[in-house]
Amino acid sequence: MPNFRVFTRWRGLTPAESSQGEIKREHNRENATLSSVSIAMPSQCNKLPAQMKEWTSGSSMTGIFKMSDSNKTVFDAVMAPILPQVLQGKSCNVFAYGHSGSGKTHTIIGYNYEAIDDLGLCLATARQLVDALNRLNEPNKRDPLGVGVRIYELRRNSAYDLLNDGGECFVREGPDGQVYIRGKTEMLENGKVRVKPIVTKACWSFEDLSRELQKGLKFRATGMSSVHDQSSRTHAVIELEIVTKTLLVARDAVIERESELVPIGKYATDVYIEEQSRAVIRNSDGGYAPNPEYQVDQARIDAVEAKKAEFESFVESAKEHESQVFDTIAGTHACLGGKLVFVDLAGSEYYNDKGGPKMNQSAQEKQVGRHINTDLLALKEVIRARAQGSARIPFRSSPLTMVLRPHFQNSEDSHSAMILTVSPASSEFAATMNTLKYGNMVGAAGSSK
């Protein structure tokens, strides 16, 4: 199976589109695993120049879904083959990419949480995952396997934790090179400060998980895109990870120790700066000179540094413990840590030939649209660089690519799929062509690995 698979999904015409002509489309199987897609404007639309009327992709598509295909059909082709990998502890990510209103949320999350065949990929996969874990869990087992859920959205330069009332979080690279999503610093009743991590809700049944997802998604921001006014104007990320309670407790302990380190580290920095600034004075030409009346109190600096080192060692011990807990459980359950990451990308905005959006967006909404396009471009560059085996992959160019970094880094152990959602309406021809060109580039690069 290629490392990065690209699928195309044609959605049905909406009532507003049904009176318009349909894009002519052909799918050709090019080899055992890949197909190409050709599109052309209906013949009555012959005013356009030739290069805007038809286009054919390369052999870049692993699968193409017809208008009549249900979410269940998409699940069977996209998710069913990678579920066994997740149950081996591997990581898989799935994106929906397409123009606003093309069916990304319908595909990834779904709008009907009750009908099994209509569940979006995320819930349909979660259902199978929970079933598989229940089969692995022995009756009355003390530390059963479950699914840890994180849901957040990325908007501009921040993440918003949808399982914590949409609270703002920051995407940062730590000194260890890892990417962290952390909330604001909060003061606890006992005077301790705590940097709130993004919330992981442990779910032990499909019903729990579905409830958490629906609760979280209520906090997702919608707004006006160039197509409709209930558009998802953020990238939603849903992470499902195979966990146990013991593992989550060990992780909480790491966060606790890290929180304790924060004020100690800050105090050590403050003391250092205070000592250094007392040891210099301003001279008459505006520069700095040593202060003859003050000697840096090195013993004071050393004392706070020693305290900081002590707290750093507590963090290290907690991390070591977490890793031991992980290894012990993974010794019996190879699936531990297996991860699925679903990304419902915000709708790419296609601006018409005159450069303007089709609807009356405010200046702020237009700016959001531009921001979304910048993120999508950054994602394309990352996928391209990764597929070409570049030494430098531009993960830092947007928060979207930063948070996806851990899921993209270990390419041997990770599988990705991108679903291009497209409308067959002739009025959406340019947007559809745009989406297919993006996916063609990604698919061609991914399958060349």
Ligand X SMILES: Nc1ncnc2c1ncn2[C@@H]1O[C@H](COP(=O)(O)OP(=O)(O)OP(=O)(O)O)[C@@H](O)[C@H]1O
Binding site for ligand X (CB under 6 A): 11-12, 98, 100-106, 111, 225, 231-232, 346-347, 421
Q: Please state the three-class secondary structure of 275-308 as a single string.
A: HHHHCEEECCCCCEEECCCCCCCHHHHHHHHHHH
Residue 406: alpha-carbon gap to chain centroid: 10
- Determine whether the annotation assigns residue 104 to a binding site: yes
Residue 273 CB, nearest approach to ligand X (Å): 47
Residue 34 beta carbon to ligand X: minimum distance, rounded to whole angstroms: 22
User: How near is the Cβ of 11 to ligand X at its closest, in Å?
Assistant: 3
Nearer Cβ to ligand X, position 357 or 394? 357
- Of the candidates 157, 156, 158, 135, the residue with the CA atom closest to the CA atom of residue 145: 135
105 is in an annotated binding site: yes
- Residue number with CB closer to ligand X (104 or 415): 104
Q: Which residues contact 213 (CB under 8 A, 6 or more apart)?
A: 109, 122, 123, 126, 149, 151, 238
Q: Which is nearer to ligand X, 134 or 427 (CB)?
A: 427
Q: Which residue, 14 or 317, has its beta carbon nearer to ligand X?
A: 14
Provide the 3-class DSSP secondary structure of residue 374: helix
Instruction: State the alpha helices, DSSP H only, in 204-349.
Output: 206-217, 245-278, 298-332
323 is in an annotated binding site: no
Residue 371 annotated in ligand binding: no
β-strands 339-344, 235-244: how paired?
A: antiparallel
Nearer to ligand X, 231 or 434 (CB): 231
Cβ 111 to ligand X shortest distance, Å? 5
Report helix, strand or coil for 221.
Answer: coil
Residue 377 beta carbon to ligand X: minimum distance, rounded to whole angstroms: 17
For 442, what's the count of Cα atoms within 13 Å in the CB-facing half-sphere?
Answer: 30
Residue 188: CB minimum distance to ligand X, A: 38
Q: Is 98 annotated as a binding residue?
A: yes
For residues 262 and 185, what is the distance between their CA atoms, to the nearest angstrom?
9
Q: Please identify, using beta-carbon distances, which residue of 368 and 387 lies nearer to ligand X.
A: 368
- Least distance in angstroms from the C-beta of 110 to ligand X: 9
Helix/strand/coil for 105? helix
CB 342 within 8 A of CB 93: yes
Largest CA distance in the chain: 89
Q: Which two tokens stand for residue 257?
A: 């120790």
Cβ(109)–Cβ(157) below 8 Å = no
Would you say 153 or 258 has its CB closer to ligand X?
153
Q: How many residues does the chain have?
A: 449
Q: Are 322 and 251 in contact (CB under 8 A)?
A: yes
Binding residues: 98-105
Binding residues for ATP: 98-105
